[in-house]
Chains A and B, each alone.
Chain A
């Protein structure tokens, strides 16, 4: 949220509706009657779980609204448009930096999903986890 103060300086006044929302389920295109359905569901669910907020979850420390808010809370603008522009630029920088971290963890993300799904029968001919 933002507002102009008594001197006409535009300031950030609160977080508004800024929030972290993650999906809780995945979309599975394997037909439910497939012998691989459950294996697939468990694999994708492991990916979803990695996004749960907090320690113990691979991406649980990323895209934290308060982190971003703390970065921009003291930003001021000469006009509403000026402040919006500055916040947009800051947001872009923040999201790009978080995305770079996500990219660095993608291999681990996939590995963790395989740790869950590979032991589930039927096993594939080739698996990441023996």
Chain B
């Protein structure tokens, strides 16, 4: 007599019980960051980023929860595969380094090497809005200007425990989430302006940084004038007396 084993696997798709707190807010703003917002606070955003780079999304991967015995039991009990959590990993090849955090410092600070590949993981059950900011989104093959901050260590450890993520990789988020992910196709001007600001602060010597920033302040560039002044003030304040 054949012993049959029943695979209980109900493909119940994703919880669409959407939290209103998230979606109502999503409707109050536009989905994509308005181009004029992309040009605002360039100094603040660049200086708050570990790296500003350009890169292309080479692929997005679906990443599931680590398949543990506990998960196996959960699925069997619920007879529902959707109890297993999932997320999306955006794999981005870096093309050009535009800025490093260290460029904005008056005192010598350790310069981190820009990774060749950037990994940004977005769990599906994370709200559309994170800390008041629309979260990141990516399209395969699209080129972006990326303001990047490292994923908070506590969150990184938690996600690596839950999801099938490689613990040897460095994971990032966008600075202010979606605001840190600027599609270059639509906003080439943002890249040009950030590049000018970053080139001004690139020299290791503080005096050279300040000279270049003053030039920007008086260049007639209405976008960079304020940012350059702010960068100069902060460098002056930080400069060793």
Residues on A lying within 8 angstroms of B by beta carbon are 1-4, 13, 16-23, 26-30, 36, 39-40, 43-44, 47-48, 51, 59, 62-63, 65, 68, 80, 84, 87-88, 91-92, 95-104, 106-107, 110-111, 114, 117-118, 124-128
- Bound complex: CA A36 to CA B62 (Å): 34
Residues of chain B within 8 A of A40, CB atoms compared? 20, 23-24
- CB neighbours of A16 from chain B (8 A): 6-9
B74 to chain A, nearest CB (A): 13
Is A3 in contact with B2, judged by CB distance below 8 angstroms? Answer: yes
Contact status B11-A19, CB under 8 Å: yes
Residues facing A in B57-82 (CB within 8 A) are 60-64, 67, 72, 79-81
Classify chain B: how many residues form its interface, as a range: 35 or more
A105 to chain B, nearest CB (A): 10
Asked if B195 is at the interface (CB within 8 A of a chain A CB), the reply is no
Partner of B29, one of A63, A87, A104, A126: A126
Q: From known contacts A29-B21, A97-B62, A98-B62, infer whether A110 and B26 are also in contact, taking CB-CB under 8 Å.
A: yes
Whether A95 and B64, one on each chain, are in contact in the complex, defined by CB atoms closer than 8 angstroms, is: yes
B residues near A, CB below 8 A? 2-21, 23-24, 26-31, 60-64, 67, 72, 79-81, 84, 86-88, 122, 124, 128, 137-140
Could you tell me if B4 and A2 are in contact, using CB atoms closer than 8 angstroms?
Answer: yes
**C-alpha gap A106/B2 in the complex (Å):** 45
Known: A48-B16, A63-B11. 4 other contacts (CB 8 A): A2-B5, A21-B10, A43-B23, A44-B23
Q: Is the CB of B12 within 8 A of A21?
A: yes
Shortest Cβ distance from residue A39 to the other chain B in the assembled complex, whole angstroms: 8
- Residue pair B13, A30 in contact (C-beta under 8 Å): no
